[in-house]
Structure 1
């Protein structure tokens, strides 16, 4: 399983919004793009998708921008990936009669791997990613002193 560029950029943008969540500050696309080194036009498309998925809210106007629709500790990585990639986390029903034994075994292992990945992604929220980032920043600062 590989993290797509689209998902990575979206998570980086959401981390930027999570960092500013407590202040209630609206972030403009150009601010997020500059801070996280994401192309503006691409970020605009990603944020539109995340808005339709209920993960972010937008406000128009001169002082407009984007902010998280909910608290960062209530938004999981799995929810973000489902919104962007349209992942189906619920395994489809087995139709044993039309599948070969080999095919059934492969599908069973694949389903188990997907369930394990989904379990990990469901466990982490934007808040936890922010905390991991901040703790690593502290370690980097301590290392260089």
Structure 2
């Protein structure tokens, strides 16, 4: 299972919004794009999808922009991932039309997807923020 650019960029944008959640500060597209090095036009499409799926809200006006729709502790990485990539369900295997080998491969692939989904369900946007802060703190310590 690979992380697509679309999902990675969406998670980066959500991470920026999660960082500002407690202050209530909104971010404009161009701000997020600069902070995370995401092309503006691509980011517009990603944010539109995230807004339609209810993960973020748009705020109109001069100080408008985007904010998370919910607390970052309540948004799992699985929710963000499936928002961008769609639900990845395994098709039912028709035992009459496939070989035993194909069935076995599909069963294992389905099990692998379930394991990946379990990991993504376990972590939230707040967990990403916390891990980022730990990594930043480590970098600062090395340069003192």
TM-score by length of structure 1 reads: 0.94
Q: Quote the offset at 1:129 in angstroms.
A: 0.4
- What is the distance in 1 between the residues matched to 2:92 and 2:73? 32
Q: Deviations over 1:98-140 (max 9, x none)?
A: 3211110010110111111111111110000000000111111
- What is the distance in 2 between the residues matched to 1:51 and 1:128? 21
Specify the alignment match of 1:84 in structure 2. 84
- What is the distance in 2 between the residues matched to 1:42 and 1:94? 36
Q: Quote the offset at 1:81 in angstroms.
A: 1.0
Q: Quote the offset at 1:87 in angstroms.
A: 2.4
- What is the distance in 2 between the residues matched to 1:87 and 1:143? 41
- What is the distance in 2 between the residues matched to 1:96 and 1:125? 38
**2:95 aligned with 1:101:** no
Show structure 2 runs of 5+ residues with no match: none
Q: Quote the offset at 1:20 in angstroms.
A: 0.3
Show structure 1 runs of 5+ residues with no match: none
Q: Quote the offset at 1:62 in angstroms.
A: 1.7
Matched residue SS, 1:96: coil
Specify the alignment match of 1:21 in structure 2. 21
Q: Give the CA RMSD over aligned residues.
A: 1.1
Specify the alignment match of 1:143 in structure 2. 142
Instruction: Give the number of aligned pairs.
Output: 144
